[in-house]
Amino acid sequence: MTAGTGQQRERGFDHTEVEPKWQRVWDERGTFRIPDDAEDPAYVLAMFPYPSGEMHMGHVRNYAITDAYARYRRMRGEAVLHPMGWDSFGLPAENAASERDVDPRGWTMDCIANMKEQMEIMGLGFDWEREVTTCEPEYFRWNQWLFTRFYEAGLVEREGAELNWCPSCETVLADENVNTEGGTEICWRCDTPIEHRDLEQWFFTITDYADELYETLDEMDGWPDNVREMQRNWIGKQAGDSVAFELSTGDSVEIFTTRLDTIYGATFFALSPGHGLAQELADDGDEVADYVHRAEHTDEELDQTSGVFTGEYATNPATGEEVPVYIADYVLEDIGTGALYAVPAHDERDHAFAEAHDIPIEQVIEPAPDADVDPEDIDVGEAAYTADGVLTNSAEYDGLTSAEARERFVDVFDGEHRIEHSLRDWCISRQRYWGTPIPFVECPDCGYVPVPDEELPVELPEFIQTTGNPLDAAEEWKSVACPGCGGPATRETDTMDTFVDSSWYFLRYVSPDLETAPFDTDRASEWMPVDQYVGGIEHATMHLIYSRFFTKVLKDLDLLDGVREPFKNLLTQGMVRKEGTAMSSSTGNVVSPRPFVEEYGADTARMFMLNAAQPEKDFDWTEEGARSAHTFLQGVYDLAAEFAAGDVAGEGTAKSEGETGGEHAVIHEYVAREVAATAATATEEFEAFRFNHALQAVRELVSLLRRYRDATTPDPDVFEDGVVTVTKLLAPVAPHVAEEMWDKLGGEGLVAEADWPDATPPEGYDIERRLVENTREDVREIADVAGIDDPERIRIVVAPEWKHAAHDLALESDADDLVGEVMGHEQFRQHGNEAASFAKDLQTEREALTPALSAAEEVAALERARWLVEREFDATVTVEADDDAPDLADDAEPGRPAIRID
């Protein structure tokens, strides 16, 4: 579209002028700074970005959400911590370095400067004095310090394991960094198919906390269900039992099972090809060795039921029988113990294997009597019966339920209850340059020795271009004296996974410049947890688990007091799409924030995003939507400006005598009540993060104010209150326009620092609103049905007070005979048959009755809303109490006045 560029604009505001102006003012006044001595502030946090150099709409949305919320809380009078920083280590900087012949640090810093500028242009209210940059030694020295503490606490291990290796990034990847696409495992960053390599690496033993990480999820009701579910899946808790089987090889092999109740039905034993014993049995160069080799070292897709008999037998501890030992590919090495006893009758995979290898199938479970399956229908020869049930063919245990049997068998077979998790320890080693050096030295005599705290940080050597790990090539840097014995030693050349950086950055914001510790324990204990965390769902199983792990460890190391979870409430924001698909720079399907903001302003972008959908939902970026936000903001500004200029309710605007008082007082009152009601609604919606609903309420109020202005000469106080309220309610979302309006309206100080409007709804508002809406609706319907196109006079007659009293009585009374109850009162009896018949009506609708206003209140409420009806129908409208209109009052009921249209 062609923007308003070049065309004169007599109305509205110029965002290119207004926005930088207020950004400067906020900055100068330190509006968003929070002092260190603030008491338990609201901690509102957006996931800090990797500084790629350019903001995209996803960022804008993320920060628009946290900023709106933070500004809202601040206006409510709370101290608010809303910081920002840079997750600035990571591979892209190295890639850029090799592509453009720059060094990662310089490139990263340029990107940060660029991103920061864009954030400032958006008017985001961060406390920049708390900015944190993870690639600075002042930050990452604490990664190293914490690493050492973890090491001392026994939470660091160096082990050899088969690891995911990305040949393109030339580094290992944690399981979390491996994605699966069409069956192949690929690197999350570059989509290269990963390989597996046996390597010695550094691990954090996050599995020590697996159970707590899992269990606490149940209580974390400030988190979305899907994220909690993803974490549950990821941790993969499995409660079962382990039992040892004696093999004819002389080995005792431990298995893990969740179905110990089926042990009598075990007819073979299976080892995964990667199991230690399988490897031993394969040494002979026979078909066992061949199978293990094919399973382990080739790309061959082995059949589900493939396997090989080892010639060995295992003793079933339950039956004493010898069952054959197979090596089978369907048995996974890293699940359970990598070995299992197989019960073909009650496990589908075991069943399939047994059929293929002609192994007997013994039923030991039958459906419980209360199951809706007929035991006669079960044929385990056909298919496994996998449900729990009642034991059979299990010696003296027949008749026990599955659950009972599992409980008993643990003791009987000398096993133990075990909790297994699929969560693995966290491999944090990366063979890359742009990360935190792991603060260890390898000494030929002392082994791995930690770098003493006083020598931290271990800084990075100068960057050099090399195919492998640049740290490995930095010979001078590598060579160091062993802290233990003083002899020649070598620095560890692995750097840390960048998820280490982001696992505690939210604590560094508390005391970003502290030089004696990663964070101030007292203050962090008071300020934490983060009250509201907002970011993308993609971090559900990585960053969000690691941060939880770190927080628990820090608590156990006494670095935190009383905080075991970092994020109280979590919001995962939806995607900003374009034409139904994700914005993607690779396809050019993007709207870039910078040019958009230059043309329409930051407020428009923020307003549109928050107005378009609830934060957690995806939405489409549309030109119409953006424009409508822009139009709205211009319009509100104009309204405020007109009022400020005295064009609406100032002196000399009176349309006629008496419009400002008397008969018009009720109109002013109506508007005043709507203003208060809007503040109440908007507050509720802000609390619940439904900015779109809050904005809807504001739009409706603005529309009402316009009608008010057009219908009469507004009361200056009422109108001002309306415009001021709109300004305040808009301030968290469109802060620059709001400041401009506030300024025009003569507000004191900044609206960003102003008090939030009173959020108490007017008394009886909901009932009143319903009455007014219903009545207006009824008038329309009658006029329509009766075919009255151009009504002259509309009479609205409220039901007599006694009907209201009877209605109230019906609401309260629990008497069976309502008619009798009502007629027992003289005040109703005097109305004779009419009262009896009304009581009968009440009796009929009894269960559906809702509170109503009194007759006088109804008259007042309708009187206040009368102008809207007059305006709509261009007719004379009267609101009457029943005494004034005995001819119509009979038809009226509480909440439903009689209506006469002529």
Partner RNA sequence: GCGAGGGUGGCCGAGCCUGGCCAAAGGCGGCGGGCUUAAGACCCGCUUCCGCAGGGAUCCGUGGGUUCGAAUCCCAUCCCUCGCACCA
Among 211, 251, 598, 778, binds RNA (CB under 7 A): 778
Least distance between RNA and beta carbon 467 (Å)? 32
Question: Quick check: 331 binds RNA (CB under 7 A)?
Answer: yes
Query: Does position 349 bind RNA by CB under 7 A?
Result: yes
Which of 657/847 has CB closer to RNA? 847
Closest approach, Cβ 671 to RNA, in A, equals 13
Distances (CA, A) of 62 to 66, 535, 596, 732: 7, 6, 17, 14
Q: Please, are residues 97 and 576 in contact by the beta-carbon 8 Å criterion?
A: no
146-154, 336-344, 600-608, 641-649 -> range binding RNA (CB under 7 A): 336-344
As given in the structure block, the two tokens for residue 605 are 């972008």
816 binds RNA (CB under 7 A): no
To the nearest whole angstrom, how small is the minimum distance from the Cβ of residue 176 to RNA? 9
Q: Please identify which residue in 93, 340, 364, 741 interacts with RNA, judged by CB under 7 A.
A: 340
CB 618 within 8 A of CB 658: no
793-797 vs 876-880, strand pairing mode: parallel
Piece in contact with RNA (CB under 7 A), picked from 58-66, 89-97, 243-251, 781-789: 781-789
CB of 765 closer than 8 Å to CB of 673? yes
Determine if 1 is a binding residue for RNA (CB under 7 A).
no
Q: How many residues bind RNA (CB under 7 A)?
A: 73
Nearer to RNA (CB atom), residue 617 or residue 829: 617
Q: What angle do CA 743, 745, 759 make, to 5 degrees?
A: 100
Stretch of 377-385, 448-456, 502-510, 701-709 lying at the interface with RNA (CB under 7 A)? 701-709
**Nearer Cβ to RNA (113/688):** 688
Site for RNA in 856-875 (CB under 7 A): 868, 871-872
Beta partners for residue 118, in sequence order: none
Q: Which of 69, 139, 142, 234 binds RNA (CB under 7 A)?
A: 234
- Number of other residues whose CB lies within 10 A of the CB of residue 353: 24
Q: Would you call 77 helix, strand, or coil by DSSP?
A: coil
Of 181, 225, 651, 812, the residue at the interface with RNA (CB under 7 A) is 225
Residues 149-208 that bind RNA (CB under 7 A): 180
Can you tell me which residue has the tokens 């007629």?
823
Q: Rule CB under 7 A: say whether 774 interacts with RNA.
A: yes
Residue 732 in the binding site for RNA (CB under 7 A): no
Q: Which of residues 76, 408, 770, 825 is near RNA by CB under 7 A? A: 770
Nearer residue to RNA within complex by CB, 239 or 856: 239
Does position 719 bind RNA by CB under 7 A? Answer: no
In this complex, which beta carbon is closest to RNA, that of residue 114 or of residue 628? 628
For 710, other C-beta atoms within 10 Å of its C-beta total 9
Q: Which is nearer to RNA, 103 or 350 (CB)?
A: 350
Q: Please name the helix (run of DSSP H) or strand (run of DSSP E) that holds residue 532, with its range, or none.
A: strand 532-535
- Residues pairing with 157 in the sheet: 203
Three-state DSSP class for residue 188: coil
Per-residue x/- mask for RNA, residues 248 to 287, rule CB under 7 A? Answer: --------xxxx------------x---------------
Exactly one of 19, 329, 858, 882 binds RNA (CB under 7 A); that residue is: 329
Cβ distance to RNA smaller for residue 553 or 701? 701
Q: Which of 17, 99, 787, 790 binds RNA (CB under 7 A)?
A: 787
Binding status of residue 664 toward RNA by CB under 7 A = no
Minimum distance of RNA from residue 239's CB (angstroms): 9
The per-residue DSSP string of 833-854 comes to HHHHHHHHHHHHHGGG------
Segment near RNA (CB under 7 A); pick from 152-160, 221-229, 461-469, 854-862? 221-229
Question: In terms of Cα–Cα distance, which of 736, 888, 737 is closest to 121?
Answer: 736
Interaction of residue 18 with RNA, rule CB under 7 A: no
Please choose, out of 134-142, 500-508, 589-597, 846-854, the segment that lies near RNA by the rule CB under 7 A. Answer: 846-854
* Alpha carbons 448 and 154: distance in angstroms, whole number: 14
Nearer residue to RNA within complex by CB, 337 or 547 = 337
Q: Which is nearer to RNA, 252 or 850 (CB)?
A: 850
Using CA atoms, how far residue 163 sits from 277, 541, 686, in Å, is: 21, 19, 46
Return the sign of the alpha-carbon dihedral for residues 93, 94, 100, 103: positive
Q: Which of residues 91-150 bind RNA (CB under 7 A)?
A: none
Place of tokens 């944190």: 132
197, 655, 707, 840: which one contacts RNA (CB under 7 A)?
707
The least CB distance from residue 205 to RNA, in Å, is 19
Smallest distance from the beta carbon of 766 to RNA, in angstroms?
A: 8
Would you count residue 850 as binding RNA (CB under 7 A)? yes
Q: How far apart are CA 206 and CA 878, in angstroms?
A: 74
Contact with RNA (CB under 7 A) among 9, 24, 780, 840: 780
The candidate with the shortest Cα–Cα distance to 731, out of 61, 42, 70, is: 70
Q: Tell me whether residue 650 is exposed, middle or buried, using C-beta atoms within 10 angstroms of its C-beta: 0 to 12, 13 to 18, 19 or more.
A: middle
Nearer to RNA (CB atom), residue 229 or residue 286: 229
559 — phi, psi (to 5°)?
Answer: -90, -15
Question: Which CB atom, from 263 or from 451, has the smaller least distance to RNA?
Answer: 263
Residues 374-403 that bind RNA (CB under 7 A): none
Distant-in-sequence, close-in-space partners of 376: CB < 8 Å, separation ≥ 6: none
Identity of the residue, 249 or 614, whose beta carbon is nearer to RNA in the bound complex: 614
- Nearest Cα neighbor of 87 from 400, 397, 506, 377 is 506
Enter the tokens of residue 469. 């790990």
Cβ nearer to RNA, comparing 404 with 778: 778
Question: From the CB of 193, what's the least distance to RNA, in Å?
Answer: 16
List Cβ neighbours of 563 (8 Å cut-off, separation of 6 or more): 524, 525, 528, 529, 551, 555
By CB under 7 A, is residue 424 in contact with RNA? no
Alpha helix positions (H), 617-764: 623-644, 665-687, 691-711, 716-730, 735-744
Name the phi and psi angles at 442, rounded to 5. -105, 120
Site residues for RNA, 599-618, by CB under 7 A, read 613-614, 617
Helix axes 855-873, 765-785, angle to 10 degrees: 50
Give Cα separations from 155 to 144, 148, 150, 424 (angstroms). Answer: 14, 10, 5, 13
Does position 847 bind RNA by CB under 7 A?
yes
Minimum separation from the CB atom of position 112 to RNA (A): 30
Q: Which ranges constitute the DSSP H helices of 750-892?
A: 765-785, 801-812, 818-823, 826-829, 832-845, 855-873, 886-889
631 sits near RNA (criterion: CB under 7 A): yes
628 counts as binding RNA under rule CB under 7 A: yes
* Closer residue to RNA (CB): 135 or 328: 328
Closest to 428 (Cα-Cα) out of 157, 617, 242: 157
To RNA, the closest distance from the beta carbon of 635 in angstroms equals: 6
Listed ranges 70-78, 284-292, 725-733, 784-792: which one lies at the site for RNA (CB under 7 A): 784-792
Alpha carbons 205 and 203: distance in angstroms, whole number: 6
Is residue 706 close enough to count as binding RNA by CB under 7 A?
A: yes
Binding to RNA (CB under 7 A) within 634-653 occurs at 635
Q: Which helix (H) or strand (E) holds 289?
A: helix 287-297
Compute the least distance from the CB of residue 339 to RNA, in Å: 8
* CA dist., res. 771 & res. 774, Å (int): 5
Quickly list DSSP for 148-182: HHHHHTT-EEEEEEEEEEETTTTEEE-GGGEEEET
- Interacting positions 534-573 with RNA (CB under 7 A): 541
